[in-house]
Chains A and B, each alone.
Chain A
Amino acid sequence: MRFLPLLLSLVITIGVSVDPSPIRAAPGETIAGAARKVVKLYGAGGVRGLEAFQTGILVSADGQIVTVMSTVLDAEEITCVLDDGRRYVATLTGIDPRRELAVLSIKGEDLPAFVLDESEPLPTGSRIFALSNLFGVAVGDERVSAQHGVVAGVIPLEARRGAYEAPYTGDVYILDCTTNNPGSPGGALVDWQGRLVGLLGKELRATASGIWLNYALPVAEVARGYREIIGGTPTAAGDKPATAAFDPAVLGVVLVPDVLDKTPPFVESTRPDSPASRAGLRPDDLLVAINGRAVASRSAVRQALAPLADGDPVRFTVIRGGAIVECDLGPRPPTVRNP
């Protein structure tokens, strides 16, 4: 049912050419000017759920392109089509696995390109355009599709798709237009003056709620990733903390046994002389947040504790007798490994 917003929003594929003009907040000129710097990419895929196309943005006049890392790029030949229909074979320069960015290059000159301007982030409520090869409907010399919306929020990314978890956890723009569809990843997010403010992200769901996310990586992060790739020093994806390794029992908390998956995270008891008992945790306390992160269920408790490293501060928020009580458990003790 996600096609309705597209029908209702401004989906534009314009074939007219407009001269580069002074920056003004006129939507038509803004879109026309910015869309020239957005390219359609075609590579591997083409089976259900794995589209063979996405979007990229030109960031230099000699043909450097930034896009998102994806299976589309797993092709022997990546085709890049400019807004005027010119076709290039793109080569993969490098990737940034942490931000999931990739840089491609084409042999061109005097190409229109975005400036990777690392200005202040846009505040919530700012109007934006998203320009992308949405669903691959723009073909040949047709410009990419434009959608309009606002920055709905700026939040740290916590996203996944199935078992895959997004490695980037910094701030992203959440958008109120539907960009989480095939072809959008790698598209340009521009403000109403045509400045690049972000790169449209992959099709992911929010970890907390499971809803599809419409998000974009802010331009400052795009610029950092681009520099690292060009400079040959991309940050590694980093080792994710093992999720099952930490046993909450080392904190001295014993939860009420889970009968038929029907038991909320109530404290049954605390071990004497443990961080939990020293923090004043009591039987029948209902755990509701750990380090400020809401934990509504037992699985949420496990998820919130899993990424904590030895020595990280641990604070439990509980409901006791209808009131909120904060319990500071101090630094996380090391997990005792069974011999």
Chain B
Amino acid sequence: MKFSLWQTVVLSAFAISTAVAALIVTAAAVASADTLGLEEEAAFRRAVDRVAPAVVRIEPAGLSEAGIGGAAEAAPATGPSSGLVVDPAGWVVTTAFAVPTDATQAIVMLPDGTRQAARAVGRDLARGLVLLKIELAPGISLPVAETAPRSELAVGQWTLAVGRAWSTTAPSVAIGILSAKNRAWGRAVQTDASVSPANYGGPLVDIEGRVIGILAPLPADTAGMMAGTELYDSGIGFAVPIADISSVLPRLMNGETLRPGILGIGYSSRDPFTAPANIATCRVGSPAAKAGLRPGDTVVTAAGQPVTRIAELRHVLAPRYAGDTVELVVDRPQKAGGSVRVSARATLVAELPPWRRPMLGIVPDRSAGVEKADGKEKSGGVRVQWLWPEGPAARAGVREGDVVESIIEATGNDQPGAAEQAGDPLRVASPAALAGFVGGTEVGQMVRLSIRRGEKILPIEIATAALAADPPPNVPTVAGTARVERLEAPEVAKPPLVVMPAGDARTPLGVLIYFGPPPGTGDKADANAALAEPWLAAAAQHNVAVILPGADDPQRWSRMDIAALARSLESLRTRRPIDPARVAVAGRGAGGAFAWLVADALGPAVRGVALLDSALPRQATIEAAEPGRSRWVLFGQSAAQSLPKLAADRKRLEDNGFPVGILPEMLGETPPAADLCGWVEALGVL
């Protein structure tokens, strides 16, 4: 997290404005007793001395190279870190940084310098803590530090972050103040003392040496915007309150793994700080659904705490574990107007069944919803461009050229009141609006479409199906041409080639980023042309811009290339509109594994990943699919290649709710351009 030039500019401005404040500080210091600073220094040392006997050094043990990931230059890797004795019988708490989830043992070095083998007995995944046990000789017990009562904590008080990673003999210390008492959604206190891998697992203590909490690389945002370790040296450090640890210590000693509790709702607003906790989606089978919550409900009380905004609900939910029960009160609007207050009791779970992307089997006209030349948005629904062969819509009698005007969930029963609950149908103004609605349903949900065909309006009921795993054969094509360009972008040294379809500049383009074999050192101009040539026809036929990135290091793809690619993609976006539903990354061989990493880096913007002659990269982490975070994955193989990991990868993805398809066997070295571009077109299916 080094500084860039712009930050220097900010600092310059800051330094000037601070000069005045600094003078005041200086004057105050001069006016006070000259010895105060040294007296405080003596108090710091006493505080460290008091807690030091309970602070241990943790050395990782039995790590694999894959676990280390060779990331020492980019991020904190695995070094020694710290731990705190929490029970005299040999129980030590440290963080998952010291003992990653794939490690079951670690070395504890006691203050006297002796090493002990330790077992990881329990884990708190919500807070990233690990409970270790070391076996002690009979009659031996470890010193436990005094704790500071939570009620006495005050923002601004001295705090000391103590660790043992730097030295095997003396503890290390960093000084700061308590910055906040309730951070990381209620899971931590915050300090400005320097917190880093060196003291993760060590205690944050007050000026008396009493333990406030355990220093931990907690992410500031539960959404994982920033991994916790990135915050070192930032002036932001977190400690999990010791009382929270004590309350679950018996469960951890019992060998339990405590997981964050999930309720299973989605909110109708993305802004947690201003919007009320209005429920937009309620996952089928989730604790919320089982408790009787419904889309449209607004949470007004959680665990006795009033809730007016999403953030307040998160504050209540984030500290809770799977298995914990939470009382909720919701306002439920009535068809007749007004609302009723409903109480519910939900037992949180560790994970939800993975979400599967549902589809109607309708591929809409891309230009629908695009502004016309006169500036007015085309209204009156979404035109069906083509239908998924044998898909739900095709079987229900929808035809190409039909216009979907509105959609509503059909309850499938005619009980009194069912219609009232369902509300009004959604007027479909754009493919995105229809996609949002379909994505919010579960596979198998009955929906009622209102379809305009010529002069007639037809109601058609369709049950959604899971997105088919294989792209359909014979995806419709359009006539057109494409040309090869260089996709120049600021700060991109080796701009990628792009195969750009000609045609109406207002039609949103699909995007396929393709990583072939690393370009190698022979950088000839005609080689570039050869690289692009196989894509020309397919790119034009499916209106797909194919980006062929350049590599910073000609021998291999590297993380440098990802940053450059993101800029190139932005540059493309300024030239032509991009269809957000049709952005995919593909790669072959080493480029395939890299494509997966690129997709991870680009986030939910990428809707599909194709790995050709490649398995998932070793370090791939796969989280269960959720609405808005799902990818269509394709594997492709040449005849000569065999991928022993393929079946395992496929199962792993499918278990997490990802559709996984297989491409026809590839012949030769030519990329399967037609298959891939057709697939990008098919990605737009609703």
Residues of A at the B interface (CB closer than 8 Å) are 1-16, 24-29, 31-32, 48, 123-127, 134-138, 145, 149-150, 152-155, 162, 174, 176-178, 180-182, 192, 203, 205-212, 214, 258, 260-266, 286, 288-289, 292, 294, 296-299, 317, 319, 322-324
Q: Please give, as numbers and ranges, the residues of chain A lying within 8 Å of B232 by CB-CB distance.
A: 211-212
When A27-B29, A296-B63 are in contact, do A322 and B119 touch as well, CB less than 8 Å?
A: yes
Instruction: Please tell me if the beta carbons of B19 and A12 are within 8 angstroms of each other in the complex.
Output: yes
Minimum distance in angstroms from A151 CB to a CB of chain B? 8
Of the listed residues A145, A206, A286, A289, the one surrounded by the most CB atoms of chain B closer than 10 A to its CB is A206
Closest residue on chain B to residue A128 by CB atoms: B41
Instruction: Please tell me if the beta carbons of A150 and B14 are within 8 angstroms of each other in the complex.
Output: no
Minimum distance in angstroms from B74 CB to a CB of chain A? 8
Closest residue on chain B to residue A321 by CB atoms: B117
When A192-B38, A210-B79 are in contact, do A322 and B65 touch as well, CB less than 8 Å?
A: no
Minimum distance in angstroms from A59 CB to a CB of chain B? 26
Instruction: Please tell me if the beta carbons of B66 and A261 are within 8 angstroms of each other in the complex.
Output: yes
Minimum distance in angstroms from B201 CB to a CB of chain A? 13
When A5-B233, A13-B18, A211-B196 are in contact, do A263 and B79 touch as well, CB less than 8 Å?
A: no
Task: Jot down 17 A-B pairs with beta carbons below 8 A, ordered by A.
Answer: A1-B230, A13-B19, A25-B36, A28-B30, A31-B26, A126-B41, A137-B14, A182-B3, A182-B8, A192-B38, A192-B41, A209-B77, A209-B197, A260-B66, A289-B107, A296-B62, A322-B117
The answer to the question of B667 belonging to the interface, with a C-beta cut-off of 8 Å to chain A, is no
Q: Which residue in B45, B62, B78 is a CB contact (below 8 Å) of A209?
A: B78
Instruction: Please tell me if the beta carbons of A136 and B25 are within 8 angstroms of each other in the complex.
Output: no
CA distance A230 to B40 in the complex (A): 40
Of the listed residues B3, B115, B167, the one surrounded by the most CB atoms of chain A closer than 10 A to its CB is B3
When A262-B66, A323-B117, A324-B116 are in contact, do A5 and B192 touch as well, CB less than 8 Å?
A: yes
Give the contact stretch, choosing among B122-130, B171-179, B271-279, B635-643: B171-179
When A14-B26, A299-B65, A324-B107 are in contact, do A210 and B76 touch as well, CB less than 8 Å?
A: yes
CA distance A152 to B167 in the complex (A): 10
Instruction: Please tell me if the beta carbons of B48 and A125 are within 8 angstroms of each other in the complex.
Output: yes
Instruction: Please tell me if the beta carbons of B80 and A208 are within 8 angstroms of each other in the complex.
Output: yes
When A5-B235, A150-B173, A260-B618 are in contact, do A11 and B64 touch as well, CB less than 8 Å?
A: no
Closest residue on chain A to residue B13 by CB atoms: A137
CA distance A207 to B18 in the complex (A): 35
Q: Please give, as numbers and ranges, the residues of chain A lying within 8 Å of B117 by CB-CB distance.
A: 288, 319, 322-324
CA distance A211 to B233 in the complex (A): 9
The answer to the question of B75 belonging to the interface, with a C-beta cut-off of 8 Å to chain A, is yes
When A12-B26, A136-B8, A176-B194 are in contact, do A150 and B35 touch as well, CB less than 8 Å?
A: no
CA distance A319 to B171 in the complex (A): 25
Instruction: Please tell me if the beta carbons of A206 and B63 are within 8 angstroms of each other in the complex.
Output: no
Instruction: Please tell me if the beta carbons of B7 and A210 are within 8 angstroms of each other in the complex.
Output: no
CA distance A58 to B128 in the complex (A): 48
Q: Which residue in B10, B25, B41 is a CB contact (below 8 Å) of A3?
A: B10
Q: Please give, as numbers and ranges, the residues of chain B lying within 8 Å of A15 by CB-CB distance.
A: 19
Instruction: Please tell me if the beta carbons of B1 and A210 are within 8 angstroms of each other in the complex.
Output: no
Minimum distance in angstroms from B29 CB to a CB of chain A? 4
The answer to the question of B61 belonging to the interface, with a C-beta cut-off of 8 Å to chain A, is yes
When A12-B19, A125-B173, A298-B65 are in contact, do A28 and B27 touch as well, CB less than 8 Å?
A: yes
Instruction: Please tell me if the beta carbons of A317 and B26 are within 8 angstroms of each other in the complex.
Output: no
CA distance A127 to B226 in the complex (A): 31
Instruction: Please tell me if the beta carbons of A138 and B63 are within 8 angstroms of each other in the complex.
Output: no
Q: Which residue in A7, A24, A31, A155 is a CB contact (below 8 Å) of B34?
A: A24
The answer to the question of B168 belonging to the interface, with a C-beta cut-off of 8 Å to chain A, is yes
Minimum distance in angstroms from B617 CB to a CB of chain A? 12
CA distance A31 to B38 in the complex (A): 15
Instruction: Please tell me if the beta carbons of A124 and B170 are within 8 angstroms of each other in the complex.
Output: yes
The answer to the question of B236 belonging to the interface, with a C-beta cut-off of 8 Å to chain A, is yes
The answer to the question of B560 belonging to the interface, with a C-beta cut-off of 8 Å to chain A, is no
Q: Please give, as numbers and ranges, the residues of chain B lying within 8 Å of A124 by CB-CB distance.
A: 45, 48, 170-173
Instruction: Please tell me if the beta carbons of B65 and A209 are within 8 angstroms of each other in the complex.
Output: no
9 extra interchain contacts, Cβ-Cβ under 8 A, other than A125-B41, A210-B76?
A: A5-B192, A5-B233, A12-B25, A15-B19, A176-B176, A178-B194, A208-B80, A209-B197, A211-B197
The answer to the question of B193 belonging to the interface, with a C-beta cut-off of 8 Å to chain A, is yes
Instruction: Please tell me if the beta carbons of B166 and A152 are within 8 angstroms of each other in the complex.
Output: yes
**Which residues B100-115 have CB closer than 8 A to chain A?**
105, 107, 115
Q: Please give, as numbers and ranges, the residues of chain A lying within 8 Å of B60 by CB-CB distance.
A: 294, 296
Contact flags (1/0) for B145-178 with A, using CB distance below 8 Å? Answer: 0000000000000000100011110111111100
Q: Which residue in A6, A297, A299 is a CB contact (below 8 Å) of B11?
A: A6
Minimum distance in angstroms from A267 CB to a CB of chain B? 12
The answer to the question of B419 belonging to the interface, with a C-beta cut-off of 8 Å to chain A, is no
CA distance A207 to B23 in the complex (A): 39
Closest residue on chain B to residue A16 by CB atoms: B23
Minimum distance in angstroms from A121 CB to a CB of chain B? 12
Instruction: Please tell me if the beta carbons of B166 and A174 are within 8 angstroms of each other in the complex.
Output: yes
Q: Please give, as numbers and ranges, the residues of chain A lying within 8 Å of B336 by CB-CB distance.
A: none
Instruction: Please tell me if the beta carbons of B65 and A262 are within 8 angstroms of each other in the complex.
Output: yes
The answer to the question of B240 belonging to the interface, with a C-beta cut-off of 8 Å to chain A, is no
CA distance A286 to B135 in the complex (A): 18
The answer to the question of B22 belonging to the interface, with a C-beta cut-off of 8 Å to chain A, is yes
Q: Please give, as numbers and ranges, the residues of chain A lying within 8 Å of B64 by CB-CB distance.
A: 261-264, 297
Closest residue on chain B to residue A23 by CB atoms: B34
Contact flags (1/0) for B54-71 with A, using CB distance below 8 Å? Answer: 000001111111111001
Instruction: Please tell me if the beta carbons of B173 and A27 are within 8 angstroms of each other in the complex.
Output: no
Closest residue on chain A to residue B60 by CB atoms: A296
Q: Please give, as numbers and ranges, the residues of chain B lying within 8 Å of A149 by CB-CB distance.
A: 174-175, 194
CA distance A178 to B1 in the complex (A): 11
CA distance A216 to B82 in the complex (A): 23
When A29-B30, A296-B78, A319-B117 are in contact, do A288 and B107 touch as well, CB less than 8 Å?
A: yes
The answer to the question of B612 belonging to the interface, with a C-beta cut-off of 8 Å to chain A, is no
The answer to the question of B648 belonging to the interface, with a C-beta cut-off of 8 Å to chain A, is no
Instruction: Please tell me if the beta carbons of A294 and B22 are within 8 angstroms of each other in the complex.
Output: no
Q: Which residue in B26, B135, B230 is a CB contact (below 8 Å) of A322?
A: B135
Instruction: Please tell me if the beta carbons of B79 and A209 are within 8 angstroms of each other in the complex.
Output: yes
Of the listed residues A26, A182, A294, the one surrounded by the most CB atoms of chain B closer than 10 A to its CB is A294
Q: Please give, as numbers and ranges, the residues of chain B lying within 8 Å of A154 by CB-CB distance.
A: 167, 170
The answer to the question of B198 belonging to the interface, with a C-beta cut-off of 8 Å to chain A, is yes
The answer to the question of B93 belonging to the interface, with a C-beta cut-off of 8 Å to chain A, is no
Q: Please give, as numbers and ranges, the residues of chain B lying within 8 Å of A266 by CB-CB distance.
A: 62
CA distance A298 to B67 in the complex (A): 11
Instruction: Please tell me if the beta carbons of B194 and A11 are within 8 angstroms of each other in the complex.
Output: no
Q: Please give, as numbers and ranges, the residues of chain A lying within 8 Å of B62 by CB-CB distance.
A: 264-266, 286, 288, 296, 319
The answer to the question of B37 belonging to the interface, with a C-beta cut-off of 8 Å to chain A, is yes
